[in-house]
C-alpha cells in the first residue's frame, strides 16, 4: 500500500507482474488464517495522464488482471477467500456474473466481488469517454448492475443438473430461470451459462462512503471496506451504515464492516519506528504531490505554496469520500500541502500505525469492542515483509486474546464471514423454455 513500497530494499523487482509473488503472499495470508485476500484494480495505467517526470516515477504502474490472477491463486490455496474489484462503469453484467460464478466454482466457494464505480478520467479515456460519469449516475448504474448480476447467478437451481446418462436428460427444465431484465441501463435476457455458484452468490463487497455509496451498500453489500483515520470517525461510520440496514429489511449481522489498517510491525517500538522511517525516506515528493492532486480531483497544486495551507477547492467528480476525508485531515491538523502529501501517500485513506504486536493488537481490540469495526482490511505497507511481520507477530497475539480463530471452521468465504447462503430469488418463478 505504501507509495514507496516498490523501492524498499527487500521488495522483489517486477513484483506486480509476478504470479509467484502473489501466490506466496496468498499462502502467507492463509497461514495467518485470514478470511480472504483482496485485489483492488484500475482500468488504466496509473499516473499516465501526469507529466513524464511523474509518470516515469510511478511504482507498480502495471498490474495483472485480478480475476485471472485469483484463478491461478485458487490452485495453490484451499481455504482463503478470493476477492477482486470489478467496476460497474465499464463492464457488462453478464460478463461479470460469468467471471465470478466461474471463480466460485474453480475455488470451491471462495469468491467475492468488490463492487466499485470508476471515478477517474484515466479509466474513462480507455472506454470512449473524456471524463468519468457523474457521481449520481455512476451509482444508479451500479445499483441496477448488481441487481442483474445477482439475478443471473440465480439462473439455475442448485440441483438443476441431473445428467442422467440412461434417460438422456441433462438438466431439469423446470429448474432453469430466464431473467428477462429490462431496465434503464441494461437489457439482459439470460440464463447465465454457468451453474449456480457454490455459495449461491459470491460475497458482495463495497467501499463507497458517500451518502450514495452507503445507501448502495446498505441495500446490496455484505462486506464494506472503509477508510477512517480515527476511532471516533470509524464509530460514526459504523453506526451510520448499520443504521441504514433496517430500511432495506436487513439485520446488523448481514453486513460486515472492515476499516483499512496499514500496520508497520516491529518486535520493539524502536524497530517498528525504524521500519516506518525507512519507508518514509523513500517517498518521492514529485509523485506524492501528483497523488494528492488526483485525490482532490486533478487540481493543480503546484501553483500554490507547498508550505502553505490547502486552498479552498471546488467539489470534484472524483471519489467524494476520498476528497472529503483528505480536506478534513488538512483542516483538522492544520497541515500544509507538503505535510498533507506526506500523510496522504502514507495512509492512502486508511489508518496507519507503527508499533509492537501488542500495541497494534490493542488498537484492533479497541475498535472491535467499541463498535468501530467487525473486522479489518489489513493492508501491508510492503510485501512480502509487511505481511510476514503481521502473520508472525500480530496474529498470535490476537489468537491469545481470543479475537481470531486458531483454525478455519469452514471452507467457503461465506462460512468464514458468518454470512448466510442466499436463497435463489428466481426458483419460485415459472420456468421458461430455453
| pLDDT tens, residue by residue, 51-80 | 888 889 988 889 999 999 999 999 999 999
Q: What is the pLDDT of residue 317?
A: 61
The DSSP call for residue 311 is: P
Question: Which residue would you say has higher pLDDT here, 373 or 330?
Answer: 373
SS3 227: coil
Q: What is the pLDDT of residue 433?
A: 40
pTM: 0.90
Q: Which residues have a Cβ under 8 Å from the Cβ of 105 and sit 6 or more positions away?
A: 194, 195, 197, 198
Q: What is the pLDDT of residue 300?
A: 78
Kindly report, residue by residue over 166-176, the tens digit of the pLDDT: 999 999 999 99
Q: What is the pLDDT of residue 307?
A: 86
C-alpha cell at 341: 502529501
Question: Which residue would you say has higher pLDDT here, 428 or 128?
Answer: 128
Q: What is the pLDDT of residue 246?
A: 96
Give the mean model confidence (pLDDT) for residues 396-406: 97
Largest CA distance in the chain: 80
Question: Which residue would you say has higher pLDDT here, 324 or 396?
Answer: 396
Q: What is the pLDDT of residue 288?
A: 83
User: 432 pLDDT exceeds 70?
Assistant: no
C-alpha cell at 253: 449481522
Q: Do residues 251 and 267 lie in contact, with contact meaning Cβ atoms separated by under 8 Å?
A: no
The DSSP call for residue 182 is: E
Kindly report, residue by residue over 212-253, the tens digit of the pLDDT: 889 989 999 999 999 888 899 999 999 999 999 999 999 999
DSSP annotation string for 354-408: EEEHHHHHHHHHHHHHTTS-SS-EE--SSTTHHHHHIIIIIHHHHHHTTSS-SS-
User: 265 pLDDT exceeds 80?
Assistant: yes
pLDDT band at 299, cuts 50/70/90? Answer: confident
Rounded to an integer, what distance in angstroms lies between the CA atom of residue 180 and that of residue 154? 12
C-alpha cell at 110: 471462495
Beta-strand pair 169-171/81-87: unpaired
State how far the alpha carbon of 351 is from the alpha carbons of 130, 274, 324, in Å.
33, 19, 16
User: 348 pLDDT exceeds 50?
Assistant: yes
Give the mean model confidence (pLDDT) for residues 75-103: 97
Residues comprising the chain, all counted? 434
What domains lie within the chain, and their CATH numbers?
A: 5-269+352-417 (3.20.20.30)
Q: What is the pLDDT of residue 108?
A: 98
Q: Do residues 227 and 377 lie in contact, with contact meaning Cβ atoms separated by under 8 Å?
A: no
Q: What is the pLDDT of residue 434?
A: 41
Kindly report, residue by residue over 9-62, the tens digit of the pLDDT: 999 999 999 999 999 999 999 999 999 999 999 899 988 878 888 889 988 889
- Stretch among 109-113, 172-176, 335-339 having the lowest mean pLDDT: 335-339
Question: Which residues are 310's β-sheet partners?
Answer: none
Amino acid at each position: 500500500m505504501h507509495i514507496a513500497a516498490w523501492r524498499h530494499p527487500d521488495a522483489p523487482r517486477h513484483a506486480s507482474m509476478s504470479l509467484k509473488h502473489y501466490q506466496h503472499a496468498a499462502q502467507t495470508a492463509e497461514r495467518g488464517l485470514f478470511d480472504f485476500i483482496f485485489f483492488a484494480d484500475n482500468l488504466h495505467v496509473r499516473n499516465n495522464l501526469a507529466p513524464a517526470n511523474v509518470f516515469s516515477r510511478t511504482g507498480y504502474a502495471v498490474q495483472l488482471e485480478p480475476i485471472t490472477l485469483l484463478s491461478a491463486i485458487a490452485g495453490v490455496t484451499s481455504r482463503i477467500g478470493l476477492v477482486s474489484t470489478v467496476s460497474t462503469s465499464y463492464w457488462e453484467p453478464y460478463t461479470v456474473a460469468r467471471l465470478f460464478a466461474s471463480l466460485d466454482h474453480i475455488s470451491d466457494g471462495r469468491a467475492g466481488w468488490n463492487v466499485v464505480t470508476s471515478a477517474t478520467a484515466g479509466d474513462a479515456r480507455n472506454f470512449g469517454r473524456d471524463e468519468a460519469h457523474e457521481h449520481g449516475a455512476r451509482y444508479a448504474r451500479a445499483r441496477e448492475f448488481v441487481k442483474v448480476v445477482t439475478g443471473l447467478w440465480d439462473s439455475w437451481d442448485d440441483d438443476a443438473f441431473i445428467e442422467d446418462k440412461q434417460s438422456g436428460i441433462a438438466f431439469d427444465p423446470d429448474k432453469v430461470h430466464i431473467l428477462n431484465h429490462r431496465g434503464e441501463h441494461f437489457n439482459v435476457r439470460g440464463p447465465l451459462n454457468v451453474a449456480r455458484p457454490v455459495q449461491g452468490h459470491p460475497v458482495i463487497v463495497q467501499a463507497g462512503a458517500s451518502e450514495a455509496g452507503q445507501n448502495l451498500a446498505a441495500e446490496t453489500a455484505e462486506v464494506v471496506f472503509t477508510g477512517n483515520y480515527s476511532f471516533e470517525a470509524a464509530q460514526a461510520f459504523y453506526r451510520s451504515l448499520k443504521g441504514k440496514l433496517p430500511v432495506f429489511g436487513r439485520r446488523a449481522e448481514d453486513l460486515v464492516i472492515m476499516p483499512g489498517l496499514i500496520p508497520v510491525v516491529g518486535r520493539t517500538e524502536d524497530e517498528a519506528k525504524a521500519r516506518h522511517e525507512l519507508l518514509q525516506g523513500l517517498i518521492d515528493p514529485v509523485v506524492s504531490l501528483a497523488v494528492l492532486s488526483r485525490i482532490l480531483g486533478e487540481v493543480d497544486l503546484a501553483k500554490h505554496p507547498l508550505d502553505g495551507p490547502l486552498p479552498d477547492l471546488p467539489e470534484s467528480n472524483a471519489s467524494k469520500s476520498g476528497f472529503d476525508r483528505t480536506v478534513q485531515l488538512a483542516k483538522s491538523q492544520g497541515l500544509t500541502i507538503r505535510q498533507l502529501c506526506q500523510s496522504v501517500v502514507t495512509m492512502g485513506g486508511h489508518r496507519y500505525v507503527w508499533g509492537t504486536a501488542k500495541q497494534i493488537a490493542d488498537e484492533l481490540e479497541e475498535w472491535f469492542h467499541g463498535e468501530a469495526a467487525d473486522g479489518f482490511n489489513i493492508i501491508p505497507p510492503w510485501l512480502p515483509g509487511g505481511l510476514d511481520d503481521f502473520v508472525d507477530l500480530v496474529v498470535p497475539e490476537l489468537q491469545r486474546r481470543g479475537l481470531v480463530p486458531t483454525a478455519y471452521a469452514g471452507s467457503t468465504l461465506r462460512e468464514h464471514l458468518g454470512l448466510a447462503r442466499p436463497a435463489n430469488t428466481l426458483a419460485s418463478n415459472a420456468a421458461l423454455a430455453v
